Amino acid sequence: MQLTTLFSSITINSMTLPNRAVMPAMATGYGNADSTVSDRLIAYLARRAQGGTGLIITEVCAVLPRGKGFPNEIGVWDDNFIDGLKRLTNALHLHGSKTALQLHHAGRETFKAAAGDLPEAPSAIPSVVLNQPCEEMSFERIGIVIDAYGKAALRAQKAGFDAVEIHAAHGYLLTQFLSPFSNHRSDAYGGSEEKRSRFVLEVIEAVRKEVGPDFPVIIRISADELIKGGYDLGFMERLAPRMVSAGVDAIHVSVGVYSTPGNLSIASFDTDPGFNLSRARAIRKASGVPVIGVGRINHPQMADDALSRGDADLIAFGRQHITDPDFLNKARQGRFDEIRWCVSCNQGCIERLGLEMKSSTCTFNPECGREYAGPAPLAETPRRVWVIGAGPAGLSAALSAVKRGHEVDIFEKDAFPGGQLLPASRPPRKEIYMGWIDWAIREFTKHNGRIHCQKEVTRKTLHAKKPQAVILATGAYPVTAPIPGIKGDRVFDARDVLVGKVSLESPAVVIGAGHVGLETADYLISRGIEVTILEMQPFSPVGKHTAHGYWLHRRLKQAGARVVLNAVLTGISNATVSYTSGEDRETVAAAMVVTAMGARSETSLESALKELSIPYWIVGDAQNPRRLLEAIHEGYRAGQEI
């Protein structure tokens, strides 16, 4: 592949970048409790700089304590932060990367425990997502915040940053002032388009005044809120040249706010790659300054094509930097088979940070967030290691162990490696998940690891061969409830349906509305099968608050799938399923019944391992059926511990 445009230089004001690849700001939660820069954050960002990225934009950095979006967000509201920030810029500059500090104020998109006070906003309208009370900002407070942006930019300049990026996207404070959805003021900062734009323009002017004419100032915008009552692309096309006149040198074109349906600001695999490039092109035309395009772009070839077409001048690869910090250098050298691709699952990054309130990581890259620990040392005494099961946990464990110098064999009872990812990659939009399996196998065999398929390990095998260490990654087997007719010939497990072991017939009834059930229904519908989903809980276990959950429910609804909650099954016959829902007794036609009712860990070999005193680790679903993230991370840790 000829990536000539991506790897060409570009100048923004006084800053010349060696290439057009950008790592955008992505919150990690790695800052210290006092909002100073931590060794963990420095190591994480420096590892990305090693990968050859032209510009790295730090995660959100609060211009005032009240603007923090989460408790350990790094800060720049005082001169005392400068020394810590200098350590960060020095670390990134060692690897030849330019870096920008992202200036941030969350506005109403925060909570009191993080901000230390009632969240502030243009109007006292709570966040749709967080639903926290907030306070309307006075004229005096507006002036304080504008001044804080300017002073924060000056501190960034003193700390050695090559640029600053003003965060005016995703529903944070600056977006809140721009939007009629969140700004209901009737004074000089609200009402008309002109007045709603005033706060942002004054922030830009304050920043430019403090840093001087030659220091690069970037602004990140949401080109379109894509929400009822919000602003649209036309508004931002009119505002863009005014932002340039106020002092902006480049525009980073994102889309949506956190209450936008489907969370397009951090789009899942349900959204087409590069879906936002048309908006970047429009803002580029309207503004006349370099534009950074972003929005589910992970492949360098896609980026190069977009740059060559004139969609943007630079491309931001967000989550791809988390999954594989070396992907750009690999692409430059033509080593595309070695790239570990991001699938936009959101489990380890934004959902872990935003929903679980834990520091972020990556489902497929267990080293993300642990860069400070350094690479694992080679094993002092290589051992003969067996990994039983070639699902995600087993492959991750085997790869982790073989890289440390152990002699590793994987034993898989089925015909192909992949485990639960084989059926999980069959529903619509999820085919990309198999890319990780293919990558893991290539990496494992490159290190002389051996995979034996259709080879079931038994107690007898263990007694005969006695490996020196075993990682038990035997997964879980499906379970069902004691429903009359559940063992009938037209009743099938969802996993068998997804891997093609079952002839499909319509109509189908899917029992269980968790991820497996809903995704199997999605799969069946894509193949022309009429589907009814029965769930005994009063709500679907798959929430619409995640991006994938939203799009999954939306596809099912648009396809006419019927979801029945509070459904207690009473019997399955050859042609119907009977159930009660509240006081009502119902039957639904069913040419086939698909069960997705959960799973139970398979650990039958554990007793043999104990008898033989073979050191062993249990990982993934064999430990407890959970998500892909836990499987891959547990496998990785087991391989490190041998």
Question: What length is written for the chain?
Answer: 642
CB of 623 closer than 8 Å to CB of 634:
yes
- Dihedral, CA of residue 422, residue 428, residue 430 and residue 434, to nearest 10: 40
Q: Which two tokens stand for residue 429?
A: 């939009």
231 is catalytic: no
Whole-number Å distance between alpha carbons of 156 and 100:
8
Contacts of 34 (CB under 8 A, 6+ apart): none
Whole-number Å distance between alpha carbons of 447 and 642:
17
Half-sphere exposure of 434 (CA within 13 A, CB side): 13
Which is the catalytic residue, given 44, 172, 231, 550? 172
Whole-number Å distance between alpha carbons of 541 and 537:
8
The beta strand positions in 485-608, using DSSP E, are 491-493, 508-511, 531-534, 562-564, 567-572, 576-581, 584-589, 592-595, 599-601
Other Cβ atoms closer than 10 A to 585: 10
Q: 3-state class of 562 per DSSP?
A: strand
CB of 287 closer than 8 Å to CB of 251:
yes
The beta strand positions in 171-318, using DSSP E, are 217-222, 250-254, 291-293, 314-316
The residues facing 412 across adjacent strands are: 453
DSSP per residue over 128-155, as a string? TTT----EEPPHHHHHHHHHHHHHHHHH
DSSP per residue over 404-417, as a string? TT-EEEEEESSSSS
3-class SS letters over 515-546: HHHHHHHHHHHHCCCCEEEECCCCCCCCCCCC
Q: Which residues form the catalytic set?
A: 172
